[in-house]
Amino acid sequence: MCGINGIMSLGSHPVSEASDFIHKMNDRIRHRGPDGSGYWTDGSGKLHLGHLRLSILDLSDNGSQPMISRQGNVIVFNGEIYNFKELRERFFSDVTLRSESDTEIILLLYEKFGKDFLRHLNGMFAFAIWNPKEQSLFLARDPSGKKPIYYTNQNGVFAFSSEIKALLELPWVKRESDPESLYHFLTFNMLPPPLTMFRNIYKFHPAHAMIIRENGESDYYSYWEVEYSDKSVATESELCEAVFDGLKKSVSYRMVSDVPVGAFLSGGVDSSAVVAMMTEAASYPVKTYSVGFDGQPDYDELDYASKVSRLFNTEHYEKIVTPSEIADFLPRVVEIFDEPLADATCIPIYFISELARKHGTKVVLTGDGSDELFAGYRNWQKYIRMYPAFHRYSALPLTLKRVIRNVYGVYEEESPRYEILQRAARNEEFFWGGAKSFKESVKKRVLEPEFISNGKGFDSYSVIKSFREAFEVQKLNHTFLNDTDWMCWLGFKFIIPNFYLNRMDKLGMAHSVEIRNPFLDKNFVNLALSVPSRFKTKNDEPKYILKKALEEILPADILYRKKMGFCVPLREWAGEIISSQLHDNLKGFCEEHPQFNYGELRQLVTKLDKGEQGVTNRMWTLYFLISWYKKWMN
């Protein structure tokens, strides 16, 4: 895993001082690649590429970047191609290679197949390839969205980077807030592509590629889509075998490394399964890492993690986070997330990443992604049960639905039931995965009327609707897809890349740690999403087929215990800090950013002071947003 930067002039003249800018961009994200840095420019000075290296494969200088092929094509690459050895054997067994790296294989594949070579890659990646013959730049992001690409195209200059903070080193890139991004962020605590919260700075969608030419013309397109298969006649035992073998192969791929690979271990189903399969594949003792909170047993899974460690003989390390450490970290969290992500779970992940690096681990595997693919969240079960009733209610006359909504809203406008009635009255989708913060009705109060009026086209359902429309296209060819499949689709397409993978990339890279996700192998994703919903939830057991498949390697008290994951005692430890910061800064923030209604937000802070648990997440969002604006917009 590395960092990439680039500047390309789209006119006839080179960008003044571009070399200095690339070096500044490299310096700004040096945490992504502390093992080396590189710079390259073409003869005209119109194209400049920078690279930061975290050495994982081919630790010699032969794997350094930017890398130039014999044909003169140049690449900067962030990520890992797990099947590169297979591709090397299949296509280039008669070619004398300069390195043992996957980077060289990418270049050779590009030269052999053109842009269609992406179909051969199995891995996580973000890269840019300069083609001097065509005078074009080809960029691509991996199918799941593990590795980021941010870009801006202004004043005849195209620039890209692994992180926004590097683009902000360019003097023509202004720190201007994007109103639509703010509106959606208040709902989801994250942003869908191409939004980033910055006006004129964008992020790639997963599974997308771009070709940009020297005259400024560009093509931006999707190169991969989920491949569903009809498994309606498959037996439970057949599906168990397929899931087990698919995950085992995916874990094996992600053990490809010239440095030892460790794991984050919560003691839950997913991370425990990954560790079990890692220890079988590894030729060395696997290091595992867990995190707990001092004096907070309700947030502590260390006993389960320790049990799994003993079961598979891992070299296990634990971090006990204290209240003072959280207090010290909170003000710094926004330094990591230049693209805002208001998620308190970033706290334990930050500390566990720090622990891994402290003990010499550069690469770790995690269990992220399984819950979205297999409908593993228990709170998803209520949606699955309620969907038939929602469909029946939605079929009622529109006038009647609006009357019911309006009457109910007089009494409980902030309740989840009102939000459901609102969605039905507007003919919207029932399940908005990731919408955990401010409801639409509340946003219209906490944002000033002028902001709402100026952004009259803003509607956070438009985010969900775009994913629903793409899912409906899938249903045309795969009529077996149902409501549970829709939820898993939205989880994979929206929540995983913009929440979990964004979080892991930023927090891992803050400590120069590469994080790999076996459940998000593109072939395993196709399999998991194709599992019939009756096997994803059975006998009210979420993630049923995965747990059943893992019974041969994990004990029942790991497989069937209540899910916890990496949680944090936010209200218990940080509630007072958040409240204090909001009291001190809220009024000044609203004066500086008049789109916010101080009176309405002040009422929410008062509810937090009274101990109302229902406002904690929204207050974390507000705390984060104030800190984020102060860091990145002032």
How many beta carbons lie within 10 A of that of residue 518, not counting itself?
29
DSSP state of 88: H
Same domain, 198 and 87: yes
Rounded mean pLDDT of 441-450? 90
Compute the average pLDDT of residues 340-351.
92
Q: What is the mean pLDDT of residues 461-475?
A: 97
**Per-residue pLDDT, 611:** 76
pLDDT at position 5 over 70: yes
Confidence of residue 55 (pLDDT cuts 50, 70, 90): confident
pLDDT band of 576, cuts 50, 70, 90: confident
- DSSP labels, 392-459: HHHTS-HHHHHHHHHHHHHHHTTSHHHHHHHHHHTT--S--TT--S--HHHHHHHB-HHHHHHTTT--
- 422 versus 174: the higher-pLDDT residue is 174
Q: Tell me what the mean pLDDT of segment 215-228 comes to.
A: 97
Pick the closest to residue 371 from 532, 280, 490 (CA basis).
Answer: 490
Q: How far apart are CA 151 and CA 193, in angstroms?
A: 12
CB neighbourhood size of 358 (10 A): 12
Written as six digits, the tokens of 294 are: 């001092």
What is the pLDDT confidence band of residue 58, given thresholds at 50, 70 and 90?
A: low
What are 285-344's pLDDT values in tens digits?
A: 999 999 999 888 878 889 999 999 999 999 999 999 998 898 899 888 999 999 999 988
Backbone phi, psi, residue 319, to 5°: -125, 125
pLDDT value for 607: 85
Pair 228, 530: CB distance under 8 Å: yes
Answer with the residue of higher pLDDT: 438 or 629: 629
Residue 616: which pLDDT band, with cuts at 50, 70 and 90?
confident
Question: What average pLDDT does this structure show over 131-157?
Answer: 97
Predicted structure pTM score: 0.95
Q: Which of 445, 463, 486 is the last residue of a domain?
A: 486
Same-domain pairing of 538 and 501: yes
Same domain for 49 and 175: yes
Does 1 score more than 80 pLDDT?
Answer: no
Q: What contacts 122, CB < 8 A, 6 or more positions away?
A: 81, 82, 83, 253, 521, 522, 523
Q: Is the pLDDT of residue 105 over 80?
A: yes
Assess whether pLDDT exceeds 80 at residue 570.
Answer: no
Mean pLDDT across 506-519: 96
Give mean pLDDT, residues 14-40.
95
pLDDT in tens, 207-217: 999 999 999 99
Q: With bands split at pLDDT 50, 70 and 90, how would you rate the model's confidence at 563? A: confident
Residue whose token pair is 């590469």 = 514
Q: Per-residue pLDDT averaged across 384-402, rounded?
A: 92
> Do 323 and 215 fall within a single domain?
no
List the domain range (segments joined by +) for residue 460: 379-486
Judge if 476 and 577 occupy the same domain. no
Cβ-based neighbours of 555, under 8 Å, separated by 6 or more: 311
* Mean pLDDT estimate for the chain: 93
Do residue 480 and residue 491 come from a single domain? no
Give domain status of residue 523, yes or no: yes
Mean per-residue pLDDT, 587-592 = 95
pLDDT given for residue 566 in this prediction = 63
Residues 214 and 242 in one domain: no
- Six-digit token string for 382: 């209520």
Predicted confidence at residue 306, as pLDDT, reads 97
| CATH code, domain carrying 297 | 3.40.50.620
The answer to whether residues 70 and 186 belong to one domain is yes
Scanning 139-285, the segments in alpha helix (DSSP H) are: 164-167, 179-188, 236-253, 269-281
pLDDT (average), residues 504-526 = 97
The one catalytic residue in 2, 240, 346, 590 is 2
Is 407's pLDDT higher than 90?
Answer: no
Q: What is the number of domains present in the chain?
A: 4
Query: Does residue 228 lie within any of the structural domains?
Result: no
Q: Is 2 a catalytic residue?
A: yes
**Residue 608, pLDDT score:** 80
Pair 171, 136 in one domain: yes
Return the DSSP state at 614. Answer: G
pLDDT for 413 equals: 66
Cα separation, 277 vs 18, whole angstroms: 47
